[in-house]
A and B are shown apart, each in its own frame.
Chain A
């Protein structure tokens, strides 16, 4: 049976934070509702009050400030896809957002919801991880800023307190000299949750890879960078052999972090294939 709850729709950030402080665990934030509605349908929502933040004007923005881009949590996937600042300064995030669900889901689902829901398969997360995104959490009378990787405790669990809202996501622009790739692997070509996804950023200096960042979704207990593979690539002149080695390193690191599971038989080779394809793309190396 569907969950039952009261509903409130604050009109300012202040009001929203007041309500969250007053209700604590008894309240739950709803943005686009594309994750929460399935919980409600299954009767799994435990909160008694649903706080709809979609009318809070302070939470909806895309801004460029100097070398930084910052996003309000209510930014929808569709807005990310069609935003010039994103396409210029963080195309990897634009591509990730483009792979989410369908037109309908992208029109209503938000980046804040995608982050906080903490699904291991969330598509924007690996992109935000390679961008080195910082997430601002606000509560009444205070705020803290955490790197995105520090938000997560386990699949579907974060450090975010019931009194807190994600109010901003920031990252440095990656334009000059950077190239990027986002690839999603799923059981069908649209409207599917990622079986795995990968985001890669690389900065070249002449023929050498100055820096490479790799993050793979649905592969590790919490989102992270694949540091061993990154270290292997750093400073090298990319070649098919190095890409092969780095892809293997990612697969190995995945198994080290997640242990061997029933899905490993598929995921180990597949992640290697996926990372290889992404690296070939960013480093412009054909097989």
Chain B
């Protein structure tokens, strides 16, 4: 009897967590109820920049139901957090740097009592001049942080740009601007903390990186790592924002003193006020091209506003610089990419880390050049696109899995086969292309993942991973990789994820890295376990291990497929001899640090490639835009779960439509989803996904990543389509009603 198991790599199985979510069984942090639970509220700064002279808590402490008020004075360890640079106080001490900076915590028996107590804390400030413009920040004598207002600069030099421009027939120069964007994940930040059975301070929170949270809690409380446990609750989206610590250190601090369970759930308004945003960038592009269409030189200057704190600012500046040329061969490149502090809300990671911004710029430049040259926009891209053997701006030779041209070709073919959209009277239509490349994993730094696989004495398989599934599907994909490697079915896999007491560190759910990096770690752990099982079986069966294989949960003869024994039998015999079946896996992508001056090096082991084509319709009288359809091709190496890939592409197009047309967070004005609009289903176009699989030899089963790539080419494609429709280009995102109408009227009057 053979049974074919389900869930192998390449199959579109439903998400492993889908049923619990649909049935309402999944428990998000705000669902966790505990006996004797206390409630927390946070007092936040109403000043953009001020010195704190005094914080008076006496009155608040006397309020009914109040258990305790906490300020920076209560923090036993280091009062600075930050994933890359440590500049973000858990609770403000000397200064506040933006409206929303956390100053004090109130813990009470009810949420309302905690909120009332917050209202009675008195902060005495001495206002300092605020800075809201990154250019001004770099000139100003007012320092937001002691070390100065420049957070970071990343330069890249390749060839000789001036020579490149001299050899160019056409040189164009433009400036592009993007706005601050709010992630607007469905679930506002939340967490519950308590002392667990082993006496550990345990924080269960909505997060993208439980192991990093653990580290920050340990440091802020000056504890031994073994005294703290961090668990990822079921997480309702993150898009990068839940990579920073939000509620975690606050809750841990309270439990450290009170030894009782405490809960903190942000309102939507608080999530908007207090958490990271997408960096607005100012991007100056000068691009030179030979008359035959070859790119000759690019000189790019990027300045970002990181707001009050570093968060992922350094990563965004670095990644934006590396990706600034777009997926094209350019012999001469000069990039300067800087991040400045201001007194805006802090900006951090958001789906794409600066690449959605630069893609808007480099793809607009490509279309302008195509027009100047009288070339087809597909042709100019095909001519310059990376291929196997191409060299990037950082001097990396792309060896394998370079599906850029294939994406361009497939999108073009699909579009040629589809009916053209024709304008209805009074409306304008346009078509636009956006292409992108995206390095998988962190930029030129170590970013390993580890995993663990185990068979218990009854032959039950458990996979341990620290990888946070935030709705993107990593739990499913990692289970599929384990199932394929082990030769068992998806339903036979028990997954333990995101708990520092149980799971090894998988690093952040960011940078589209979990399928590639954690996938490799899982594959290695499972592969090692499989080897142990076969070695054991070989011993019992007295058949050399190389003649055995594992399939459908059975040990079979390699020669004729004869069933020799079952997993259960092997594990039972191993355990009866006191032998445990457990194996570890580890993967760190092969990269090098970038040279600090020239930016040369190998920042990523592999890249994803994609191309979107958008059709839009515009009302030239009102500025209303309909995005009609988007054809989206993505080289993902190997689609571990094709329907998951399609889901990411569709969601990326939706988010990209918002980035292109409506999303703009205005500090001080945008308070909730009332002012901040993200696309509804009516705003989202028809999406025609195309999966391209150019296998990556270092990836698990050839896989790379798609989470962020899915978003990136959408806005450039829409903006290029708008330019075609209007005969005028928009250089500032979002292309709001006002900006579109203004462009229409510029065209009309010229």
CA distance A1 to B63 in the complex (A): 16
Fill in one digit per residue for B175-197: 1 if any A CB lies within 8 Å of its CB, else 0.
00000000000000000000000
B736 touches A189 (CB 8 A): no
Q: With both chains docked as a complex, state the minimum distance between the C-beta of B111 and any C-beta of chain A, in angstroms.
A: 10
CB neighbors of A among B105-137 (8 A): 112, 115-116, 119
A274 to chain B: which residues have CB within 8 Å?
Answer: 621-622
CA distance A270 to B681 in the complex (A): 25
Fill in one digit per residue for B734-748: 1 if any A CB lies within 8 Å of its CB, else 0.
001110011001000
Closest chain B residue to A263, Cβ basis? B738
Q: With both chains docked as a complex, state the minimum distance between the C-beta of A197 and any C-beta of chain B, in angstroms.
A: 12
CA distance A265 to B620 in the complex (A): 15
A277 to chain B: which residues have CB within 8 Å?
Answer: 426, 619, 621-622
CB neighbors of B among A176-193 (8 A): 185, 187-192
Closest chain A residue to B268, Cβ basis? A41
Chain A binder among B85-93, B408-416, B435-443, B672-680: B672-680
CA distance A287 to B620 in the complex (A): 13
CA distance A266 to B739 in the complex (A): 9
Q: Select B680's contact among A188, A195, A276, beta carbons within 8 Å.
A: A188
Closest chain B residue to A193, Cβ basis? B674
Known: A266-B737, A269-B741, A277-B426. A188 touches B683 (CB 8 A): yes
A192 to chain B: which residues have CB within 8 Å?
Answer: 677
Instruction: Report the number of A-B residue pairs with Cβ-Cβ less than 8 Å.
Output: 60
Known: A1-B115, A266-B741. A185 touches B680 (CB 8 A): no
Kindly state whether residue B662 has any CB partner on chain A within 8 Å. Answer: yes
B738 touches A266 (CB 8 A): yes
B619 to chain A: which residues have CB within 8 Å?
Answer: 273, 277
Known: A1-B115, A187-B662, A188-B682. A270 touches B677 (CB 8 A): no
Closest chain A residue to B734, Cβ basis? A187
CA distance A189 to B115 in the complex (A): 37
Closest chain B residue to A275, Cβ basis? B621
A82 to chain B: which residues have CB within 8 Å?
Answer: none
B426 touches A185 (CB 8 A): no
Kindly state whether residue A286 has any CB partner on chain B within 8 Å. Answer: yes
A191 to chain B: which residues have CB within 8 Å?
Answer: 680
Kindly state whether residue B82 has any CB partner on chain A within 8 Å. Answer: no
A188 touches B662 (CB 8 A): yes
A190 touches B680 (CB 8 A): yes
Q: With both chains docked as a complex, state the minimum distance between the C-beta of B125 and any C-beta of chain A, in angstroms.
A: 22
Q: With both chains docked as a complex, state the minimum distance between the C-beta of A248 and any C-beta of chain B, in angstroms.
A: 12
A189 touches B683 (CB 8 A): yes
B738 touches A269 (CB 8 A): no
CA distance A102 to B683 in the complex (A): 13
CA distance A252 to B742 in the complex (A): 19
Q: Select B624's contact among A185, A276, A287, beta carbons within 8 Å.
A: A185
B702 to chain A: which residues have CB within 8 Å?
Answer: none
Q: Select B622's contact among A38, A102, A188, A270, beta carbons within 8 Å.
A: A270
B620 to chain A: which residues have CB within 8 Å?
Answer: 273
A286 to chain B: which residues have CB within 8 Å?
Answer: 425
Kindly state whether residue A134 has any CB partner on chain B within 8 Å. Answer: no
CA distance A192 to B745 in the complex (A): 25
Kindly state whether residue B545 has any CB partner on chain A within 8 Å. Answer: no
Kindly state whether residue B689 has any CB partner on chain A within 8 Å. Answer: no
CB neighbors of B among A260-281 (8 A): 265-266, 269-270, 272-274, 276-277, 280
A270 to chain B: which residues have CB within 8 Å?
Answer: 621-623, 737, 741
CA distance A195 to B662 in the complex (A): 13
The residue in A185, A187, A277 that gathers the most chain B C-beta atoms within 10 A of its C-beta is A187
A187 to chain B: which residues have CB within 8 Å?
Answer: 662, 677, 736-737
B742 to chain A: which residues have CB within 8 Å?
Answer: 265-266
Q: Select A273's contact among B112, B622, B679, B680, beta carbons within 8 Å.
A: B622
Q: Select A38's contact among B119, B426, B623, B674, beta carbons within 8 Å.
A: B674
Q: With both chains docked as a complex, state the minimum distance between the C-beta of A192 and any C-beta of chain B, in angstroms.
A: 6
CA distance A265 to B623 in the complex (A): 13
Q: With both chains docked as a complex, state the minimum distance between the C-beta of B392 and any C-beta of chain A, in angstroms.
A: 38
Known: A1-B115, A187-B736, A287-B426. A269 touches B621 (CB 8 A): yes
Interface SS of chain B: loop
B662 touches A287 (CB 8 A): no
CB neighbors of B among A25-72 (8 A): 38
Q: Select A189's contact among B116, B425, B623, B682, beta carbons within 8 Å.
A: B682
B116 touches A1 (CB 8 A): yes
CB neighbors of A among B144-191 (8 A): none
Closest chain B residue to A271, Cβ basis? B622
B683 to chain A: which residues have CB within 8 Å?
Answer: 188-190
A287 to chain B: which residues have CB within 8 Å?
Answer: 425-426
B745 to chain A: which residues have CB within 8 Å?
Answer: 269
Q: With both chains docked as a complex, state the minimum distance between the C-beta of B267 and any C-beta of chain A, in angstroms.
A: 9
Fill in one digit per residue for B488-524: 1 if any A CB lies within 8 Å of its CB, else 0.
0000000000000000000000000000000000000
B682 touches A190 (CB 8 A): yes
Known: A266-B741, A270-B621, A270-B623. A188 touches B679 (CB 8 A): yes
CB neighbors of A among B613-634 (8 A): 619-624
Q: With both chains docked as a complex, state the minimum distance between the C-beta of A138 and any C-beta of chain B, in angstroms.
A: 32
Closest chain A residue to B118, Cβ basis? A1
Closest chain A residue to B623, Cβ basis? A270
CB neighbors of A among B252-296 (8 A): none
Q: With both chains docked as a complex, state the minimum distance between the C-beta of B584 and any C-beta of chain A, in angstroms.
A: 49
Q: Select A1's contact among B119, B736, B738, beta carbons within 8 Å.
A: B119
Closest chain A residue to B624, Cβ basis? A185
CA distance A273 to B623 in the complex (A): 9
CA distance A10 to B256 in the complex (A): 50
CA distance A84 to B363 in the complex (A): 52
A272 touches B621 (CB 8 A): yes
Q: With both chains docked as a complex, state the minimum distance between the C-beta of B741 and any C-beta of chain A, in angstroms.
A: 6
CB neighbors of B among A153-187 (8 A): 185, 187
B624 to chain A: which residues have CB within 8 Å?
Answer: 185
Q: With both chains docked as a complex, state the minimum distance between the C-beta of B660 and any C-beta of chain A, in angstroms.
A: 12
CA distance A269 to B744 in the complex (A): 11
Q: Select A185's contact among B112, B622, B662, B677, beta carbons within 8 Å.
A: B622
A276 to chain B: which residues have CB within 8 Å?
Answer: 621
Q: With both chains docked as a complex, state the minimum distance between the C-beta of A74 and any C-beta of chain B, in angstroms.
A: 25
Q: Select B737's contact among A38, A102, A195, beta carbons within 8 Å.
A: A195
Fill in one digit per residue for B54-85: 1 if any A CB lies within 8 Å of its CB, else 0.
00000000000000000000000000000000
CA distance A235 to B426 in the complex (A): 26
A266 to chain B: which residues have CB within 8 Å?
Answer: 623, 737-738, 741-742
CA distance A63 to B738 in the complex (A): 42
CA distance A277 to B619 in the complex (A): 10
CA distance A197 to B434 in the complex (A): 34
CA distance A191 to B679 in the complex (A): 10
Closest chain A residue to B673, Cβ basis? A191
CA distance A150 to B610 in the complex (A): 58
Fill in one digit per residue for B586-613: 1 if any A CB lies within 8 Å of its CB, else 0.
0000000000000000000000000000
Closest chain B residue to A38, Cβ basis? B674
B426 to chain A: which residues have CB within 8 Å?
Answer: 277, 280, 287
Closest chain B residue to A272, Cβ basis? B621
CA distance A92 to B742 in the complex (A): 30
CA distance A270 to B623 in the complex (A): 8
B680 to chain A: which residues have CB within 8 Å?
Answer: 102, 188-191
CA distance A276 to B674 in the complex (A): 29
CA distance A67 to B679 in the complex (A): 42
A190 to chain B: which residues have CB within 8 Å?
Answer: 680-683
Q: Can you list 7 residue pairs at the A/B interface with Cβ under 8 Å?
A: A187-B736, A187-B737, A188-B682, A190-B682, A266-B737, A266-B738, A276-B621
Task: For the A-B complex with A190-B681, A266-B741 known, give 14 more contacts whose Cβ atoms are closer than 8 Å.
Answer: A102-B680, A185-B624, A185-B737, A187-B736, A189-B683, A190-B680, A195-B737, A265-B742, A266-B737, A270-B622, A270-B741, A272-B621, A273-B621, A277-B622
Q: Which residues of B contact A (CB under 8 A)?
A: 112, 115-116, 119, 425-426, 619-624, 662, 674, 677, 679-683, 736-738, 741-742, 745
* Nearest 9 pairs of A and B residues by beta carbon: A273-B621, A189-B682, A273-B622, A266-B738, A190-B680, A190-B682, A270-B622, A188-B683, A189-B683
